[in-house]
Structure 1
């Protein structure tokens, strides 16, 4: 088994909108490097990367895969990724462990939805990125239009390294303006013939060669001096300039390929080997306490888990990147997050679902191991005495929520276990068991993400589930004061029950004063677990109610506040004054005063102009400029309010306040308007009043539910 040091390992992540040809290119790269001797196709469902049943069913990549190839003394790890924003968690995790992004553009479609969205992540990570215009053999291929769109969307640092001579069904040649040669491919693809640039193309090639040199020189002072002195840069200088500019995320070279026809893949791999950076050349990884960890095979051993999947009949397969040192079979590494020691029993290079056992992997390399006992995605394992934990992957915040329930009784535990495993495999999923709403809530990235979750629950875990619109965590409060006297009296043969209290309630705000006209004997300010406050005053004089019964009165009030009179929602921001009452020497007890307190509060509440409150979320919608008007209309039609707008490249960032009750339909509307191109981020802001008509409908609905129970 060949061993590769840190300088000879390259990690490249394939990026692009769905259908841009990432999986086909991965297959071509494996074929070109000799890993496979026959190329599979997505249509025939026999590619190395797309091996799961659901991917065969959908005909699309839905999960990231790790592949590897050996090419001219280098090891290239290839991370194939999905092209949907719904699956951005998998994309982000793969980008985190790569040193180069290879962004595919569909020559007939140009810059698509997924390209724009993924580009934002490459900017965030400052990931060295190269473009490959694919499908140049298509009859509607338009290289110039695609490059023009790329420059418009991503800036003038998008620079042509290759352009096609004869795009369309007869495509078989490209001009390389870095090497200043023409590559002409045989009909079956593969290794091209190097030819002089035809006279008909020389003027264009020289102009693009000059533009490439000027772009490279503009980002490097020394090369700029060389260019001014000589009026030219040689090939080595150009490659060096590209190398440094890629590391700094300053230049984005454009190549030409037809992955399906096996044209251009070898040249791409050569560029990755010769020009793209290795992990040791990139800025050091940062720990959570901002220490730098240099990528060196001479350092102490440390690995970072970036992905976990469940292997049927085998257990959990943990994918990792070696941050430092060399990890070997038999090593005992400490999990910095848990303190547990994990023994590395097996190490693998991966080719899709095929595991190839190896004895060791060095700094910068990516591999997998099985059966770590207590280690999860985002954990760092390190050599004893070398405690580090690198900054975790920040997975996207869920933007879509649904309630999930099993259809068969007795499978609750099985469903809970399955949901836990899904979260383990995909941290962009969150599961919440809401005692308040009496629902299990599934938070994910969108409808496609949900469809994959549903497929897994039904096919992998053999569960039948229903998805329902989630309930809303409303709050109830009051707007005026109310006063009542309530007597609880019950006789049942022996000792009975008796408790009478006089109670006043009124709204609480931060500047609400203590009640006037009462003798305050005790005051309790209670921060409610669900938010808001209850202020309870004991204003009993003359021993009308014994002090020992006040905790029971308060308990009764609190119980009713947990399920308010309007819709059964939590009550907040109320002042309660207990100022008079009666008790019986024999029949009064804790239960009597608890019931009296509960019923007095309920009676008062419905007479104090009660108001239902709904959660409002600060929502950031990042949408393409051309649909901003439509998004604004959608915001206004969903009871929402625009707070501000900012330009961000070719996107407009709209800040709005959106009721969570509208979010389900609002998110769907924005996705439809933007064809999935807009992004939504949301965070809880505050509670606000529910409109009168909607409040009445919710109260009627709640009363109907109570009658049906």
Structure 2
């Protein structure tokens, strides 16, 4: 395979809403360049990019696929991405390493909700962008409406490069405003014929051409002077002006396509070759310590790992961009994150599942390698003379979560290993074992994200799993003082067990007066790891309990506080005073007083008007004004307290407090009513008492579950 220098390598990412035609466009680009002899289709499940079993089963992209074409002495690396927000991690990593974004718009639907979500990331990374209006051959295609929506959404940067003739079922021509020619396609699509612009279109084409010239000129002072002198710009000057405008995010060229019929694809690829920036044109990236890393082929080698993919029969594939220098087989590169050296034993250019071996790759190129031992997504590999790790990709917060268990107990360890592997591959998935809840928590971007994960575990890894509701981390406390005692006595031959404890418990609060009815010999204040305090008073006089057993009583109290009597949740904010008891000269020991302390605390707690506290989150919900009422309704039916409402840009922002128990359901419901346009941020606020009837129901459910587990 020919080696391309940094100026002749173009990296583009195809993004767009589901069903906008990204995968079909990628397939057509490869076919147009002669990389393939036959175009696959999504319907026939034989496309190069959607090659995973789950993608073919679903008929849509789940993973980002890396492809390449060689077109007129340029290499174009293409990354085809999923269109659903659930798989946003695949899109973000792809945008990060590509130099031009091709935003595919469905001419039937215009600027869809999914487009708005994706654009946030394009804007954040400030990437040059091309708008590809696709599916102009369909009966509901409306180029003018799509264009107006794009301008309304993206502003004056939307720049018409082409417009279609006969958009709809009769689509067969494109007026190109840069070259000022008409491309007329044969029936069924394919290679077009270049023709003069028809007289009927001349006036419109001339007007739009003049607008294009002005747009190209306004991005550069020298070009503006040329424009004032000559009254126009030639084609090369316009290309330069458009390239500068794209770099400044002030020009988004619009192209016309029917990817399915291969109409307009070649012209857009030519524009990518001649105008779209290469990696060497882009601003230098930065290391975590702020050091700039330009795309320099003569600098020390530096690779950035942007994607990790674990394939059953291949192992771990690491996809990277060569940020500087070049990489060759046999090189040893250093990973500062893991303090290890990796040897590059194989190099590939990927076309979906096909791996094309190559000896070396130069700065600006994208490739992959196999079986790096200690290198994962967001890691940097440095050659001799290069130092520092690149700024990492930041992924969005998790939007939904479930508890996951293996249906077969013997699969639990294997499931844990697999989930950790999955997180390394997709960092928009979170994995955590929650000691308090005693659950393995799986966090993801949405219900579909979770469904794909379940499919993968069951169909690829052959581990049947079950999703369960995540338990709520309640807290338990008390509302009044109570006294209780407990005698632990056990005799089973030989030394027995004996310990008796009398104690008083009270609700604790800062600044409460000291105990009056008992003489306090010693006080221990425990800042509980789960929040709140335990104040433990030793009020024993006369030696009824030996001092060496007092720590065992405290240990027993703490044990019960770590699994409260109401729901097994943590107990907080209690003062315990041990004031009497009995011991046996032979049978008393630490375990006896620990058990007695545990049981006395439990009995006193249940008499002290126990109260269940629930975690409250403070949320900020941003929604389009049109669904403000629906969002308010969703909040109100979930026991929320509205704090404020205000306008912010084009959205309405609601701030509220909502119980954590209601939040997961709320996020899913809000996503549905807003078609994914709502944004939610939340953080823990505090614990507040739960309504009495709800406390009763939750407590009863917990004890029923306890009884079922015992039997």
* CA positional deviation for 1:155: 2.1
Which residue in the other structure is 1:337 paired with? 337
| 1:307 corresponds to 2:307 | yes
Contact 2:300/2:385 (<8 A) preserved: no
Measure, in 1, the Cα distance between the counterparts of 2:649 and 2:69.
37
Unaligned 5+ segments in structure 2 are none
* CA positional deviation for 1:285: 1.2
Measure, in 2, the Cα distance between the counterparts of 1:199 and 1:28.
31
Which residue in the other structure is 2:452 paired with? 452
Which residue in the other structure is 2:699 paired with? 699
Contact 1:86/1:445 (<8 A) preserved: yes
Which residue in the other structure is 1:537 paired with? 537
* CA positional deviation for 1:523: 2.8
Contact 2:216/2:239 (<8 A) preserved: no
Map residues 356-367 of structure 1 onto 2, 5 A cutoff: 356-367=356-367
Q: List per-residue Cα deviations over 1:621-650 (Å, max 9, x = no partner).
A: 343332222112111111223344555554
Which residue in the other structure is 2:270 paired with? 270
| 1:671 corresponds to 2:676 | no
Measure, in 2, the Cα distance between the counterparts of 1:508 and 1:274.
73
Contact 1:68/1:77 (<8 A) preserved: yes
1:516–1:237 distance in 2 versus 1, CA, 3 Å: farther
Deviates more, 1:570-579 or 1:27-36: 570-579
Secondary structure (helix, strand or coil) at the match of 2:259 reads: coil
1:226–1:502 distance in 2 versus 1, CA, 3 Å: farther
1:484–1:431 distance in 2 versus 1, CA, 3 Å: same
Secondary structure (helix, strand or coil) at the match of 2:39 reads: coil
Deviates more, 1:494-503 or 1:182-191: 494-503
Map residues 70-109 of structure 1 onto 2, 5 A cutoff: 70-109=70-109
Deviates more, 1:140-149 or 1:590-599: 590-599
Secondary structure (helix, strand or coil) at the match of 1:534 reads: strand
1:156–1:629 distance in 2 versus 1, CA, 3 Å: farther
Measure, in 2, the Cα distance between the counterparts of 1:538 and 1:80.
68
Q: List per-residue Cα deviations over 1:125-167 (Å, max 9, x = no partner).
A: 1121111110001111111111111122222322222111210
Measure, in 1, the Cα distance between the counterparts of 2:238 and 2:525.
71
Secondary structure (helix, strand or coil) at the match of 1:26 reads: helix
Measure, in 2, the Cα distance between the counterparts of 1:512 and 1:364.
67
Q: List per-residue Cα deviations over 1:567-620 (Å, max 9, x = no partner).
A: 111112222233344434334322222122212221222222222122223334
| 1:128 corresponds to 2:128 | yes
Map residues 681-696 of structure 1 onto 2, 5 A cutoff: 681-696=681-696
* CA positional deviation for 1:385: 4.3
* CA positional deviation for 1:499: 3.0
Secondary structure (helix, strand or coil) at the match of 2:410 reads: coil
1:246–1:306 distance in 2 versus 1, CA, 3 Å: same
* CA positional deviation for 1:122: 0.7
Measure, in 1, the Cα distance between the counterparts of 2:512 and 2:74.
72
* CA positional deviation for 1:514: 4.6
Measure, in 1, the Cα distance between the counterparts of 2:271 and 2:643.
47
1:664–1:578 distance in 2 versus 1, CA, 3 Å: same
Map residues 142-541 of structure 1 onto 2, 5 A cutoff: 142-490=142-490, 495-512=495-512, 514-515=514-515, 519-541=519-541
Measure, in 2, the Cα distance between the counterparts of 1:539 and 1:228.
95
Measure, in 2, the Cα distance between the counterparts of 1:580 and 1:571.
23
Secondary structure (helix, strand or coil) at the match of 1:24 reads: helix
Contact 2:135/2:141 (<8 A) preserved: yes
Secondary structure (helix, strand or coil) at the match of 2:317 reads: strand
Contact 1:153/1:650 (<8 A) preserved: no
Secondary structure (helix, strand or coil) at the match of 2:432 reads: strand
Measure, in 1, the Cα distance between the counterparts of 2:532 and 2:283.
47
Secondary structure (helix, strand or coil) at the match of 1:410 reads: helix
Which residue in the other structure is 1:574 paired with? 574
* CA positional deviation for 1:404: 1.6
* CA positional deviation for 1:195: 2.6
Measure, in 2, the Cα distance between the counterparts of 1:238 and 1:515.
86
1:692–1:250 distance in 2 versus 1, CA, 3 Å: farther
1:230–1:534 distance in 2 versus 1, CA, 3 Å: farther
Measure, in 2, the Cα distance between the counterparts of 1:320 and 1:488.
65
1:266–1:454 distance in 2 versus 1, CA, 3 Å: same
Q: Size of the alignment, in residue pairs?
A: 709
Measure, in 1, the Cα distance between the counterparts of 2:323 and 2:644.
42
Deviates more, 1:69-78 or 1:669-678: 669-678
Contact 2:622/2:653 (<8 A) preserved: yes
Contact 2:404/2:466 (<8 A) preserved: yes
Contact 1:634/1:669 (<8 A) preserved: yes
1:645–1:79 distance in 2 versus 1, CA, 3 Å: farther
Measure, in 2, the Cα distance between the counterparts of 1:365 and 1:600.
70
Contact 2:300/2:384 (<8 A) preserved: no
* CA positional deviation for 1:17: 0.4
Map residues 635-674 of structure 1 onto 2, 5 A cutoff: 635-645=635-645, 647=647, 649-674=649-674
Measure, in 1, the Cα distance between the counterparts of 2:415 and 2:144.
52
1:601–1:30 distance in 2 versus 1, CA, 3 Å: same
* CA positional deviation for 1:384: 3.3
TM-score (norm 1): 0.95
Which residue in the other structure is 1:597 paired with? 597
Unaligned 5+ segments in structure 1 are none
Which residue in the other structure is 1:53 paired with? 53
1:538–1:438 distance in 2 versus 1, CA, 3 Å: same
Which residue in the other structure is 1:624 paired with? 624
Secondary structure (helix, strand or coil) at the match of 2:473 reads: coil
Which residue in the other structure is 2:114 paired with? 114
* CA positional deviation for 1:368: 0.5
Secondary structure (helix, strand or coil) at the match of 2:66 reads: strand
* CA positional deviation for 1:95: 0.9
Contact 1:322/1:364 (<8 A) preserved: yes
* CA positional deviation for 1:267: 1.1
Measure, in 2, the Cα distance between the counterparts of 1:400 and 1:200.
55
Which residue in the other structure is 2:2 paired with? 2
Contact 2:301/2:323 (<8 A) preserved: yes
* CA positional deviation for 1:212: 3.1
Q: List per-residue Cα deviations over 1:425-478 (Å, max 9, x = no partner).
A: 212111222232232221111111111111111111112222222222211122
Contact 1:553/1:594 (<8 A) preserved: yes
TM-score (norm 2): 0.95
1:613–1:196 distance in 2 versus 1, CA, 3 Å: same
Measure, in 2, the Cα distance between the counterparts of 1:484 and 1:193.
95
